[in-house]
Amino acid sequence: MSGTSYRRVLALGILLLGGLALVLTRPDLFFGPREDGSTWVVDIDTWRRTPYERVVTSPYDFSLDHDLSALPVTLGEWRGVDVPETNVEVFILLEPEQYVRRKYTRPDGRFVWLSLIGSRQVRSFHPTEICYISDGWTTEVASADVPLQGGSIRALEVEARKNEWTHLVLYFYVWPDKSRDLSRGVVMFKVTAPLQGDKEATLALERDFIARIFNRVVGSGAGR
């Protein structure tokens, strides 16, 4: 083999290895859109990347160039109805670019509330427990796994109590890609339910709902 041919083969090998490394480290660039949807990045914090950052697929569009309210009102056995937000402070304080509030109910009567807050501003997002605490609720904050068809994601879990009421909340944030560029927008995805049965039964209800929207994990890590 001549020196020129050898160098060409070597260069081709380096390019192939580089391409393989990119596929392994950035599957979100190569596996979307897929049959089960485009890829999205989810995490439990907006200020920093956490070890729970995941690349997931969903058939639904969470970009702010898209109308978030286009999320179907029928998701399997779940049936949704829009619920107007009567608290004007939500819009004054958060200034969301898009805001969706919807109640989804199953045939057995159990239900969840879905809230989507889409924005390109940091001020639009704050920990959910702050709203409860300011209204006199006591809260406990943890995190919980949410199994999907493939893999699982992590959500922040808020248990809020006030008088005879108990609310359980699972929420996380959704970006178009791993750049997490705020100018491209981020969506807070929040599912809330009053206690229906015991705590585990209520969390199982919320997990089932989330798994109707996000399909599978195709990438993980903190995006470094």
pLDDT, one tens digit for every residue, the chain (224 residues): 555 554 554 555 555 444 444 443 444 344 333 445 699 999 999 888 999 999 999 999 999 999 999 999 999 999 999 998 666 566 556 668 899 999 999 999 999 999 999 888 876 677 778 888 888 999 999 999 999 999 999 999 999 999 999 999 999 999 999 999 989 999 999 999 999 999 999 999 999 999 999 999 999 865 44
> Closest Cα partner for 187 from 70, 24, 29?
70
Q: Which amino acid is at 85?
A: E
- Joined tokens for residue 218: 């195709």
Q: Is the peptide bond before 72 cis (omega within 30 degrees of 0)?
A: no
**Do residues 219 and 28 make contact, with C-beta atoms less than 8 angstroms apart?**
yes
Per-residue pLDDT, 30? 41
Per-residue pLDDT, 24? 39
**What is the value of pTM for the model shown?**
0.80
Number of alpha carbons in the 13 Å side-chain half-sphere of residue 214: 28
Instruction: Name residue 187's beta-bridge partners.
Output: 118, 174
Per-residue pLDDT, 81? 97
Q: What is the DSSP string of 111-179?
A: EEEEEEEEESSGGG---HHHHHHHTT-EEEEEEEEEE-SBSEEEEEEEEEEETTEEEEEEEEEEESSTT
Residues 35 and 57: their CA atoms lie apart, in Å, by 9
**Do residues 200 and 206 make contact, with C-beta atoms less than 8 angstroms apart?**
no
Residues 68 and 45: their CA atoms lie apart, in Å, by 21
- Joined tokens for residue 10: 């070597």
Residues 113 and 197: their CA atoms lie apart, in Å, by 17
Give me Rg for the CA atoms of the chain. Answer: 20
Residues 81 and 113: their CA atoms lie apart, in Å, by 10
Name residue, tokens 């359980």: 168
Cβ-in-10-Å burial (0-12, 13-18, 19+) of 172 comes to: buried
- Joined tokens for residue 195: 């206690």
**Do residues 122 and 216 make contact, with C-beta atoms less than 8 angstroms apart?**
no
